[in-house]
């Protein structure tokens, strides 16, 4: 990032200012510069958790996952976490046995510093694929990082994990569990190689609620499905996509045994809100993005079919370039619905854009005048609704437009 | 096309000159201007076939197919063709019952002119989706077109069906069936909304061989699988994708009963060659394409898995933009293999580019020096080979790079 003129400017779709996050009991943070790829900025984040912290995760479905993803997959089952270590600039992916060794060495060094077990250390890496990542510079930074762990450093944490991101991504919400107030904070990074499963390269959610690991996992899985996994920038799935959630229990909330516990209702809503906020921020920072696009599908066979149709529209380069050109080219939406492979009744298909009905009953709406849509198409937020006329399934997905900026960033990222 | 400065220039990947096609016995062609969308150029093609001509077709799998596709699907089964009518500029897709009526009216008018049945007239349309197509201007042109049908007008025919294409696409080959020489000619159009199933919007193949419709269908289905369906420009599937093959029997070849007949060996090879040549030309005219990319996958579970892996690589915006940037970013190839969902052994994965081994055994090749690849990456033809280390399945797919040109063309195509 930052090497191309004009490209590192903040996305026009960014929030006006990063969210201001309160401390979360049981979580302390610090950042450092290792110089792995970037100069003059922190590129390493360590989060330390109090004893008793539980962890849950959703990991990339890539068949060529990174070494940190392999490690997380192996150790999530035991459910306890004492640390998160994230480096930016090198993904430690496709790095063979040396990559696994680096993860082990970092986990060992962190465990030694914090007095915990290696398997309680969760690593994540983001950046270039296929270049060896050395543990040396990371481990050399740990001593000072451990000494400077502090509860409030959320924005520096979010900044330390950025790669091509143009703004740090933070979200927060509060809730009560049985009357006890709890906080949920989240940070994320990602702006390209973004597709469902997972839709962000890295996302981390932290709460002081006390939750068994299995409950936290159920909450996270369901929340990710409606947030990170319902967004796409370019349809590319990273080797490193990781969302982890940590629950410290510092708020001393009453015990819950399942994600369906009525006591958790407000908490689930707040947790979902944080995940969706982060996922939207990733889309809003989509490489080269100039417009944020919501696609609401209704009338599909079921919700899963609706989501697949939505993603077919959201991943269509022709739909995305039309929107970049501020062209309400609904014919390309028809094409994308058609290519999804899901059932759709062409003769009952209806499309509206920006609240204006443009097509119904398999043809252009007789009352539709393209001019009425010009102000909407020129705006930053584009709303598309499609009814495919088959059943009751529905879903909403989010994406951004496909612009010259995407090409510029990605034709030159590594060099 | 032609409305954007610099965009209508011929693709740098085009053949030096259009192929020079001989006449095919039993096939006569003519073109006309209807002014439907384009001005000052023919936009309508009619091909008339002698009695006894058989037809086969492979049509888009889109769930929202165009009216002409619906018509072709309905009438291919009877296997006889007397005419092909193709218009450029309007796809007659998502045009409701009016679209079906236009197809019927044109078929009726052509049938009347040629003295054949309506169901022996095969229509195809390409262009904007969702705008009504009137039969009037087309039918008004038919009288003069019928009067000017001629055996040799292949290049004008290929030009008449162009939309955003920057060059006409023609291919030819000869073969012998039982000693009797036969000719196979093909024309195609397409440069965007190109993805497997089908990988070209429109392709037409004509031969004077005498082949039962079911044999022609078997030949075409198998040939399309290895040609049009093994290419991709942007992963978008059109509502109108159509490949039709016509066999007039004018060469009086001896009877064959199956596509596996040993007599057809040379013919099949020539037929495949024409389809592959046309499919490659479509990729070479990919919107904004600067580089032609071959992706050879080996070591997959089976050939179908290899093809899906190849297409995952070929459709990855990150791979395509890296190649546009002349960057041998093999890490993105790893990512794309991983996202295909097909089995791959990360620790046995090997990648070579331009004949140079860059990665093996799950990591960068120790002997690999990026500089050796610079001349290859600067060239027009990029060769990628991936061994995924699982089985014996293999496939080759073709695509082009993703450049600023694609964005410029598609952000402004309709306006």
Q: Indicate if the pLDDT at residue A6 is higher than 50.
A: no
Q: What is the pLDDT of residue B234?
A: 66
Which of A167-171, A344-348, B302-306 shows the lowest per-residue confidence on average (mean pLDDT)? A344-348
Are A358 and A328 in contact by the 8 Å Cβ rule? The answer is: yes
Question: What is the spatial distance between Cα B329 and Cα A132, in angstroms, rounded to a whole number?
Answer: 15
Q: How many residues does chain A have?
A: 415
Catalytic site includes residue B200: yes
| Pairwise pLDDT comparison (B195 vs A57), residue with the higher score | A57
* pLDDT tens digits, one per residue of A144-163: 999 999 998 999 999 999 98
Question: Three-state secondary structure along chain A?
Answer: CCCCCCCCCCCCCCCCCCCCCCCCCCEEEEEECCCCCCCCCCCEEEEEECCCCEEEEEECCCCCCCHHHHHHHHHHHHCECCEEEEEEEECCCCCHHHHHHHHHHHHHHHHHHHCCCHHHEEEEEEEECCCCCCCHHHHHHHHHHHHCCECCCHHHHHHHCCCCCCCCEEEEEEEEECCEEEEEEEEEECCCCCCCCCCCCEEEEEECCCCCHHHHHHHHHHHHHHCHHHECCCCCCCCCCEEEEEECCCCCCCCCCCCCCHHHHHHHHHHHHHHHHHHHHHHHCCCCCCCEEEEEEEEECCHHHHHHHHHHHHCCHHHHHHHHCCCCCHHHHHHHHHHCCCCCCHHHCEEEECCEEEEECCEECCCCCHHHHHHHHHCCEEEEEEECCCCCEEEEEEEECCCHHHHHHHHHCCC
> In this complex, do A235 and B317 lie within 8 Å of one another by their Cβ atoms?
yes
Are B133 and B92 in contact by the 8 Å Cβ rule? The answer is: yes
Quick one: tokens of A218?
């159920």
Q: What is the pLDDT of residue A158?
A: 96
pLDDT grade for B100, boundaries at 50, 70 and 90: very high
Pairing of strands A393-400, B242-247: unpaired
* pLDDT tens digits, one per residue of B105-154: 999 999 999 999 999 999 999 988 888 899 999 999 999 999 999 998 99
Residue of A nearest to B95 (CA): A363
How distant is the Cα of B73 from the closest Cα of chain A, in angstroms? 16
Q: Indicate if the pLDDT at residue B21 is higher than 60.
A: yes
Are A121 and A82 in contact by the 8 Å Cβ rule? The answer is: yes
Place of tokens 């073709």: B398
Average pLDDT over residues B146-165: 94
Q: Which residues of A touch B332 (CB under 8 A)?
A: 129, 236
Are B292 and A89 in contact by the 8 Å Cβ rule? The answer is: no
A317, A341, A404 ranked by CB distance to B236: nearest: A317
> In this complex, do B411 and A322 lie within 8 Å of one another by their Cβ atoms?
yes
Structurally, at CATH architecture level, domain A27-284 sits in 4-Layer Sandwich (3.60)
> In this complex, do A346 and B315 lie within 8 Å of one another by their Cβ atoms?
no
Average pLDDT over residues B97-109: 96
Query: Whole-model pTM?
Result: 0.81
* pLDDT tens digits, one per residue of A232-247: 776 666 667 788 999 9
Q: What is the pLDDT of residue B1?
A: 31
Q: Which residues of B touch A334 (CB under 8 A)?
A: 64, 93-94, 129-130, 239
> In this complex, do A94 and B359 lie within 8 Å of one another by their Cβ atoms?
yes
Are A368 and A359 in contact by the 8 Å Cβ rule? The answer is: yes
Are B33 and B78 in contact by the 8 Å Cβ rule? The answer is: no
pLDDT grade for B2, boundaries at 50, 70 and 90: very low
Residue of B nearest to A60 (CA): B339
Pairing of strands A83-90, A121-128: parallel
* Whole-number Cα distances in Å, A387 to A299, A362, B217: 5, 11, 36
Q: Which residues of B touch A331 (CB under 8 A)?
A: 91, 93-94, 128-131
* pLDDT tens digits, one per residue of A13-31: 999 999 999 999 999 999 9
Provide CATH code, domain B292-412.
Answer: 3.10.20.340
Please give the share of chain B, as a percent, with pLDDT higher than 90. Answer: 66
Average pLDDT over residues B266-293: 92
How distant is the Cα of A411 from the closest Cα of chain B, in angstroms? 4
Which of A125-134, A192-201, A277-286 shows the lowest per-residue confidence on average (mean pLDDT)? A192-201
Q: What is the pLDDT of residue A236?
A: 63
CA A258 to chain centre: 25
* pLDDT tens digits, one per residue of B22-70: 999 999 999 999 998 888 999 999 999 999 999 999 988 887 888 999 9
A237, A329, A337 ranked by CB distance to B414: nearest: A329
Question: What is the spatial distance between Cα A282 and Cα A287, in angstroms, rounded to a whole number?
Answer: 9
pLDDT grade for B199, boundaries at 50, 70 and 90: very low
Q: Where are the domains of chain B?
A: 27-284, 292-412
Bridge partners of residue B30, in order along the sequence: B46
Q: Which residues of B touch A64 (CB under 8 A)?
A: 334-335, 337-338, 344, 346, 349
Q: What is the pLDDT of residue A235?
A: 62
pLDDT grade for A198, boundaries at 50, 70 and 90: very low
Q: Indicate if the pLDDT at residue A43 is higher than 90.
A: yes
Give this complex's ipTM: 0.72
Q: Indicate if the pLDDT at residue A191 is higher than 60.
A: yes
> In this complex, do A406 and B321 lie within 8 Å of one another by their Cβ atoms?
yes
> In this complex, do A335 and B362 lie within 8 Å of one another by their Cβ atoms?
no
| Pairwise pLDDT comparison (A338 vs A413), residue with the higher score | A338
Q: Indicate if the pLDDT at residue A194 is higher than 70.
A: no
Of A322, A324, A355, A347, nearest to A336 (Cα)? A322
DSSP 3-state assignment of B73?
helix
B53, B102, B172, B200: which one is catalytic?
B200
B316, B331, B336 ranked by CB distance to A128: nearest: B331
Size of interface A-B (CB pairs under 8 A): 232
Q: Indicate if the pLDDT at residue A71 is higher than 90.
A: yes
Q: Indicate if the pLDDT at residue B200 is higher than 50.
A: no
| Pairwise pLDDT comparison (A292 vs A405), residue with the higher score | A292
**What is the average pLDDT score of chain B?**
89
A200, A239, A253, A399: which one is catalytic?
A200
Quick one: tokens of A314?
């959201």
Quick one: tokens of B152?
């040799």
* Whole-number Cα distances in Å, B48 to B27, B73, B84: 6, 20, 7
CB atoms closer than 10 angstroms to residue B376? 16
Residue B83 exposed, middle or buried by CB count within 10 Å (0-12, 13-18, 19+): buried
Non-local (6+) Cβ contacts of A366 within 8 A are none
Q: Which residues of A touch B234 (CB under 8 A)?
A: 317-318
Question: What is the spatial distance between Cα B85 and Cα A384, in angstroms, rounded to a whole number?
Answer: 35
Quote the Cα angle for A15-A378-A3, to 5°.
Answer: 55
> In this complex, do B339 and A237 lie within 8 Å of one another by their Cβ atoms?
yes
Residue B278 exposed, middle or buried by CB count within 10 Å (0-12, 13-18, 19+): buried
DSSP 3-state assignment of B334?
helix
């Amino acid at each position: 990032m930052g090497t191309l003129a004009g490209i590192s400017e903040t996305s026009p779709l960014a929030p006006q200012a990063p969210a201001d996050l309160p401390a979360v009991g049981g979580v302390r943070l610090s950042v450092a510069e290792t110089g792995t790829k970037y100069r003059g900025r922190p590129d390493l984040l360590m989060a330390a958790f109090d004893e008793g912290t539980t962890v849950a995760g959703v990991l990339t479905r890539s068949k060529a996952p990174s070494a940190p993803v392999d490690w997380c997959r192996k150790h999530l089952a035991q459910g306890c976490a004492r640390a998160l270590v994230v480096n930016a600039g090198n993904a430690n992916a496709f790095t063979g046995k040396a990559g696994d060794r680096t993860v082990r060495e970092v986990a060992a060094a962190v465990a030694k510093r914090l007095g915990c077990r290696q398997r309680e250390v969760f690593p994540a890496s983001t950046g270039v694929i296929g270049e060896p990542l050395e543990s040396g510079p990371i481990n050399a930074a740990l001593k000072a990082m451990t000494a400077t762990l502090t509860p409030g450093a959320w924005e520096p944490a979010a900044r330390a994990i950025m790669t091509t991101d143009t703004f740090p991504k933070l979200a927060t919400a509060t809730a009560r569990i049985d009357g006890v107030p709890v906080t949920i904070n989240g940070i994320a990074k990602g702006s390209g190689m973004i597709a469902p499963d997972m839709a962000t390269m890295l996302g981390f959610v932290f709460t002081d609620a006390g939750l068994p690991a299995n409950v936290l996992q159920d909450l996270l899985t369901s929340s990710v499905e409606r947030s990170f996994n319902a967004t796409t920038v370019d349809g590319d799935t990273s080797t490193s996509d990781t969302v982890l959630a940590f629950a410290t229990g510092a708020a001393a909330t009453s015990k819950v045994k399942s994600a369906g516990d009525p006591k958790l209702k407000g908490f689930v809503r707040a947790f979902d809100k944080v995940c969706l906020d982060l996922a939207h921020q990733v889309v809003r920072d989509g490489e080269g993005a100039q417009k944020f696009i919501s696609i609401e599908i209704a009338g599909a066979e079921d919700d899963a079919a609706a989501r697949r149709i939505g993603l077919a529209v959201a991943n269509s380069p022709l739909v995305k370039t039309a929107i970049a050109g501020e062209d309400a080219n609904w014919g390309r939406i028809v094409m994308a619905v058609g290519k999804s492979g899901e059932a759709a009744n062409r003769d009952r298909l209806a499309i509206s854009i920006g609240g204006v009905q443009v097509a119904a009953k398999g043809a252009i709406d007789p009352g539709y005048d393209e001019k009425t849509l010009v102000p909407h198409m020129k705006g930053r937020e584009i709303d598309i609704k499609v009814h495919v006329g088959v059943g009751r399934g529905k879903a909403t997905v989010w994406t951004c437009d496909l612009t010259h900026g995407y090409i510029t960033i990605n034709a030159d990222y590594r060099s």
